[in-house]
Amino acid sequence: HGVKPVCFNNLSIMSWNVKGLNNSIKKNKILSFIKSKKCDIAFVQETHLLPQDSQKLCMGWVGYVGAASGTSKSRGVATLIGKHLQFKCIQKSKDDAGRMMLMLCEIQGKTVILANVYDECPYRPFSRSSMGSTKSFPERLYNTVRLF
């Protein structure tokens, strides 16, 4: 795996496109790998989980899950917070497409905004959603941030 956490303000943060977490063996391996890297916060993209399944990620080292799910078993982002952190979610905003989750929170006594954002084609920043959305990715991002 070429996935490595980045340290910021003494927090270890990782971002990973997992390409699906519906397989329980794969889900457990990914959560174990993230734990082995001593990651405090993990931004996970393409979870392919339904809303009721996203909270099942809150196990082991994970103390909080903020998730945005797409329709059916596609898309989806999840922000995983280690249970050892002093964490409080103050406010959340997400898009309906399951591509963005913003959280205003307190971590270790500091107020921060965590943004987990994923688009299907980063090389075409003004692309339309594959599900026929009439709004471009920047428009959807703006609308999600504006609601925040």
Q: Mind listing the domains of the chain with CATH numbers? A: 6-147 (3.60.10.10)
139 is in an annotated binding site: no
pLDDT tens-digit readout, 64-116: 999 999 876 778 999 999 999 999 999 999 988 888 999 999 999 889 999 99
pLDDT tier at 138 (50, 70, 90 boundaries)?
A: confident
Q: Which of 109, 117, 113 is nearest to 143 (CA)?
A: 117
d(CA 114, CA 41): 9
d(CA 58, CA 62): 5
pTM of the model: 0.82
Predicted local distance difference test score (pLDDT) of residue 48: 92
17 is in an annotated binding site: yes
